[in-house]
Chain A
Amino acid sequence: MNIFNAFGLGAITALGITAMSLQPAAAWEPTKPVEFIVPAGTGGGADQMARTLQGIIAKHSLMSTQLVVINKSGGAGGEGFLDVKNSKANPHKIVITLSNLFTTPLATGIPFNWKDLTPVAMLALDEFVLWVNAEKPYKTAQEYVTAIKAAPDGTFKMGGTGSKQEDQIITVAFEKAIGKKLTYIPYKGGGEVAVQLVGGHVDSTVNNPIEAVSQWRGDKVRPLCVFDDKTLPYTDKILGDLSWSSVPTCKSAGVDVEYLMLRGIFMPPGVSAEQVAYFVDLFKKVRETPEWQQLMKDGAFNPTFMAGPEFVSWLEGSEKNHKALMQEAGFIAGN
């Protein structure tokens, strides 16, 4: 059975500890525009979050200078991470990460590790949900799994973002859990994956909630289960009487797979503690804005916040976990 407990446990322990002990007022302040690197293309989940952050910070004047979003998506995000790694001690640069913080160096051999960067804070964890087309007869994850098991290997098609990244990792874990192979088809972005599902070109996807929620509202797709150890807390009605909280966990449906994706902030190596403290403080302020809370609700995020040593130990656990998962799936470069 696959229990990715580093994610699950990290999430549980940290949940509720969002109010961190306040640090002394940061003495350092940015003196010029801060570059906000997005190691992914425009329009994806990380990019949307970065631009929302930019909007919130500008709207509430949380920073004395501007925040400039720059996409560096080359080499599965490797380009962006290398850029930050090579900007030693530059406090005017931050980077938002997704799982490619771990997967890209492992899958491509691009020379960097999260330890080359300075961890700042975890903003949230992104959930993953198993979706099928609403016109298909599968009402529950069990029904879908039964259908997959009844067909030959590779009959059912799973769409996902990128190759050897989080979506495919989940797909491989899903395959292991049910003991049947699916055909994984990689696409460029989460939005495109959701549309391919609506168009019936793939049978299921593991989209993040925010990528598919509008299609759900339009009754085009159906969530079967969430890859987390407990159901989501959001009870706002989305389609009919259904809300995020009515989506069962995959574990309860007999598919013991859990995966949560990091949405965190890092800085270049060699920055001072004061500079890190400034950004930790900044993002704490962001979390209190209504726009941020709305985003968390819309995207059904797990709003765990972490900084300092707690964040570092979470990262260590998560890295080990990814290494094991990718090793098992045969995704490590050079294989």
Chain B
Amino acid sequence: MFDNFINLYHGFAIASDPFNILLMAVGILLGVIIGVLPGLGGANGVAILLPLTFSMSPTSAIILLTCIYWGALFGGAITSVLFNIPGEPWSVATTFDGHPMARNGKAGEALTAAFTSSFVGAFVAVIMITLIAPLVARFALQFGPAEKFAVYFLAFASFVGMSKEPPAKTIVSMMIGFALAAVGLDMVTGQLRLTFGSEELLNGFDFLIAVIGLFGIGEILLTMEEGLEFRGKAAKIDPKVVLKTWATLPRYWATSLRSCIIGCWMGITPAGATPASFMAYGIAKRVSKNGKNFGNGEIEGVIAPETAAHAAGTSAMLPMLALGVPGSPTAAVLLGGLLIWGLQPGPMLFVEQSEFVWGLIASMYLGNVVGLLLVLTTVPLFASILRIPFSIIAPVILVICAIGAYTVNNNVFDVLMMMVFGVLGYLLKKTSYPLAPLVLAIVLGDSAEEAFRQSLLGSGGSLGVFFSNPLVSTIMVLGLVAGLWPLISNAIGRFRVAQPA
């Protein structure tokens, strides 16, 4: 472990080269732009800029590219909060309370909380990487299909049961998500299913299309119903909002810490940032004393998912470097870059290219600090976007949604689907079907089913595989407890109420 510190020290010497610091700032700014613009996920941004970096040293190049990635992560929160349009799967949970805060005129607070939490999550994860990198990589190898399924199960279990809506509606909503996720090619048998011979349905329903429709378009329709004004319009923009919000944040240290742990853990397991954000939100809602107010603009509801998502996103970088398995499309593009620079990601990277690895880790520290400072200065600017009258901003949001939906698969059919989802979102919201379970199911349904069936293939059809070793059993039991918790706590509650009577 001591070696790690020496290596890190050398890493800092490399990363704090003025040219590299400049690259970080440029990367973060580009990343924020990429995160805010529709259809430009981090993957695209990194892929497009990759060729530009071939003339740099690998370390400088990866610093630039990872900073674009950080920037895009920061930027993703902006559209979630302001327009209810999450650009990435792990920003969905941020909309649940972030957007209501914006509508209550607290966009500045929400953005500050989101950015700061991202920073905290990422920073804690980097510290963890520094301390226990080799251990982490070994732990990640323990995850076969059964363990992966257990993690998905845990994520679902800790998220369901938290909605106030009628159970039958919650179930319908989640099952619709599963059904939509199943459309297209069945990976395990190589068969097409639920496509009914339509070429447009080959690709299934992409999560982003559904979310842009359900949340983005649905929100515009709801806003129209309530009149043309954007409710946040009157919010006055206070440049000191950042400091004022900061003063309140330490109060939520428990939520932050819990979300960091969830995030780091989910990042190391190959499940990733999306289930981490949902899980952190779900647990925060149950544990917090303001839990009942979640969904109406509770700052804790922004802190929990953002912290967890970024802790997970950052700690996922480590298995990527050590195992050569990209956890996200962006990471995949980064990996492609490594190959062009003549670096082979994999177990030997830490040994043969330790200067590169520790330079990268050091740049995670510095890049996050630089990133936080940069994005915080943009808070008043972005918050002021909400002062633009709705009749100007609404068509522009529609255009942004259309572009965003199109660029997911470069398919105009998706833009039509987005509108359908928009109407559906409006209708479901008005008839009190919760949308969150639907989205969670679309995001994870496919992977969960895949992991489940891979496990059964391996075990020859025996369900015992989910309790075949201590790791998978522990996660499954945690999942069962989390899933049944509402029943358990309800029973306890009733028991307590019944007693005094």
CB proximity to A under 8 Å, residues B389-422: 409-410
Interface residues on A, range: 35 or more
Q: Convert A206-229 into 0s and 1s, putting 1 for each residue whose CB lies closer than 8 angstroms to a CB of B.
A: 000000011101111000000000
A residues less than 8 Å from B346 (CB atoms) = 213-215, 217-218
Q: Is the CB of A163 within 8 A of B202?
A: no
**B12, chain A: closest CB distance, angstroms:** 27
Residues of the B chain whose Cβ atoms lie less than 8 Å from the Cβ of A331: 190
Q: Which of A72, A163, A215 contacts B409 (CB 8 A)?
A: A72
Which residues of chain A are within 8 angstroms of B458 by Cβ–Cβ distance? Answer: 157, 183, 185, 201-202
Residues of A within 8 A of B349 (CB): 214
Query: Within the complex, which residue of B43, B50, B329 is in contact with A55, where a contact is CB–CB below 8 Å?
Result: B50
Chain B residues near A55: list those with CB within 8 A: 50-51, 54, 340
Residues of B with C-beta under 8 A to A42: 43, 326, 329, 332-333
One of B141, B187, B329, B348 near A198 (C-beta < 8 A): B141
**Chain A residue at minimal CB-CB distance from B451:** A187
Stretch at the interface among A103-111, A124-132, A172-180, A250-258: A103-111
Can you name 20 A-B residue pairings with CB atoms under 8 Å?
A41-B329, A47-B332, A55-B54, A55-B340, A58-B54, A59-B51, A72-B409, A79-B202, A162-B190, A163-B188, A163-B190, A185-B454, A200-B141, A201-B145, A202-B458, A213-B344, A215-B346, A217-B346, A217-B348, A331-B190
Q: Given A75-B192, A214-B347, A215-B346: A48 and B323 within 8 A (CB)?
A: no
Which residues in chain A, 33-89, are within 8 Å of chain B measured between CB atoms? 41-43, 47-48, 51-52, 54-55, 58-59, 69-70, 72-76, 78-79, 82-83
Q: A43-B329, A165-B190 are in contact. Are A76 and B185 (CB under 8 A)?
A: yes
Please give, as numbers and ranges, the residues of chain A lying within 8 Å of B145 by CB-CB distance.
185, 201
Whether the Cβ atoms of A215 and B324 lie closer than 8 Å is yes
Residues of B within 8 A of A187 (CB): 454
Output the nearest chain A residue to B145 by Cβ-Cβ distance.
A201
* Contact status A108-B141, CB under 8 Å: no
Interface residues as binary, B176-193 with A (CB distance below 8 Å gives 1, 0 otherwise): 000000001111111110
Cβ-Cβ contact count across A and B, 8 Å cutoff: 154
Q: How far is the CB of B98 from chain A (nearest CB, A)?
A: 28
In the complex with contacts A187-B454, A218-B348, A72-B54 CB distance below 8 A: no
Of A137-145, A188-196, A314-322, the one contacting chain B is: A188-196
Whether, in the assembled complex, A186 has its beta carbon less than 8 Å from a beta carbon of chain B, the answer is yes
B336 beta carbon closer than 8 Å to chain A: yes
Chain B residue contacts of A199, Cβ below 8 A: 141-144
Name the one of A188, A214, A295 contacting B324, with C-beta atoms under 8 angstroms: A214
Q: Is B347 a contact partner of A54 (Cβ separation < 8 A)?
A: no
A263 at the interface (CB under 8 A from B): no
A31 at interface, CB cutoff 8 A: no
A333 to B145, CA, bound (A): 27
**Among candidates A69, A163, A298, residue contacting B189 with C-beta atoms closer than 8 Å:** A163
Q: Does A281 contact B (CB under 8 A)?
A: no
Complex CA–CA separation, A79 to B335 (angstroms): 25
Q: Do B187 and A298 have beta carbons less than 8 Å apart? A: no
Q: Given A52-B340, A198-B141, A201-B145, is A108 in contact with B187 using a C-beta cutoff of 8 Å?
A: no
- Nearest CB of chain B from residue A321's CB, rounded to whole Å: 19
Chain B, residues 56-89, CB within 8 Å of chain A (1/0): the string is 0000000000000000000000000000000000
User: A185–B54 Cα gap in the complex (Å)?
Assistant: 38
Q: How many interface residues does B have (CB within 8 Å)?
A: 50
A291 interface residue (CB < 8 Å to B): yes
Q: Contact string, B192-230, partner A, CB cutoff 8 A, digits 1/0?
A: 100100010011100000000000000000000000000
- A33–B312 CA distance with the chains assembled, in angstroms: 36
Contact in complex: A52, B202 (CB < 8 Å): no
Q: Judge whether A23 is part of the interface by a CB distance below 8 angstroms.
A: no
CA A213 to CA B344, docked complex, whole Å = 9
Cβ–Cβ < 8 Å partners of B185 in chain A = 74-76, 78, 108
Flag whether B135 is at the interface (Cβ < 8 A). no
CA distance A72 to B184 in the complex (A): 13
A154 at the interface (CB under 8 A from B): yes
Q: Does B457 contact A (CB under 8 A)?
A: yes
Q: Are A183 and B460 in contact (CB under 8 A)?
A: yes
Once the chains are docked, how many angstroms separate the CA of A214 from the CA of B342? 12
Kindly provide the distance from the CB of B133 to the nearest chain A CB, expressed in whole angstroms: 15
Q: How far is the CB of A90 from the nearest CB of chain B, in Å?
A: 13
CA of A108 to CA of B323, assembled, Å: 32
Please tell me if B498 contacts chain A, counting CB pairs below 8 Å: no
Contact B410 A72 (CB under 8 A): yes
- The reply on B355 being an interface residue by CB < 8 A is no
Q: Is B175's CB within 8 Å of the partner chain A?
A: no
How far is B329's CA from A54's CA once the two chains are assembled, in angstroms?
17
Is A21 positioned at the interface, with any CB of B under 8 Å from its CB?
no
**Interfacial residues, chain A to chain B (CB-CB below 8 A):** 41-43, 47-48, 51-52, 54-55, 58-59, 69-70, 72-76, 78-79, 82-83, 107-110, 154, 157, 162-165, 168, 183-188, 191-192, 194-196, 198-202, 213-215, 217-220, 291, 294-295, 298, 331, 333
Measured in the bound complex, the distance between the Cα atoms of B188 and A73 in whole Å is 16
Q: Is B1 an interface residue (CB 8 A)?
A: no
A54 to B189, CA, bound (A): 33
Closest to B332 in A: A43
A52 to B332 alpha-carbon distance, docked (Å):
13
Write the B406-446 contact mask toward A (1 if CB under 8 angstroms, else 0).
00011000000000000000000000000000000000000
Tell me, yes or no, whether B450 is within 8 Å of chain A by CB.
yes
Assess whether A69 is in contact with B47, with CB atoms less than 8 Å apart.
yes
Residues of A within 8 A of B202 (CB): 74-75, 78-79, 82, 110
Q: Tell me, in angstroms, the Cα distance from A186 to B451 when the chains sit together.
A: 10
- Tell me how far the C-beta of A332 lies from the nearest C-beta in chain B, rounded to whole angstroms: 11
Among all A-B residue pairs, the 6 with the closest Cβ atoms? A214-B346, A74-B203, A218-B347, A43-B332, A163-B190, A75-B202
* 7 extra interface residue pairs, beta carbon distance < 8 Å, beyond A55-B54, A185-B454: A79-B199, A82-B199, A154-B460, A185-B145, A188-B187, A191-B324, A192-B325
Tell me which of A107, A220, A295 contacts B190 (CB under 8 A).
A107
Q: What separation, in Å, do the CA atoms of A298 and B345 have in the docked complex?
A: 12
Q: Does B501 contact A (CB under 8 A)?
A: no
User: A291 to B340, Cβ gap below 8 A?
Assistant: yes
Q: Pick the residue among B324, B333, B454 that contacts A51 (CB under 8 A).
A: B333
Q: Which residues of A lie under 8 Å from residue B450 when comparing CB positions?
A: 188
Q: Does B339 sit at the interface, judged by CB under 8 A?
A: yes
**Which of B143, B184, B202, B450 has the most A CB atoms < 10 Å from its CB?**
B202
Choose from A54, A83, A164, A185 the contact partner of B51 (Cβ within 8 Å). Answer: A54
Give bound CA distance, A22 to B355, whole Å.
45
Alpha-carbon gap, A25 to B290, bound state (A): 73
Decide if A70 touches B460 in the complex (CB within 8 Å).
no
Q: A124 CB to closest chain B CB, in angstroms?
A: 15
Closest residue of B by beta carbon distance from A48: B336
CB-CB nearest in chain A for B349 = A214
Given A55-B50, A198-B141, CB of A186 within 8 Å of CB of B187:
yes
The complex places the Cα of A191 from the Cα of B332 at a distance, in Å, of: 10
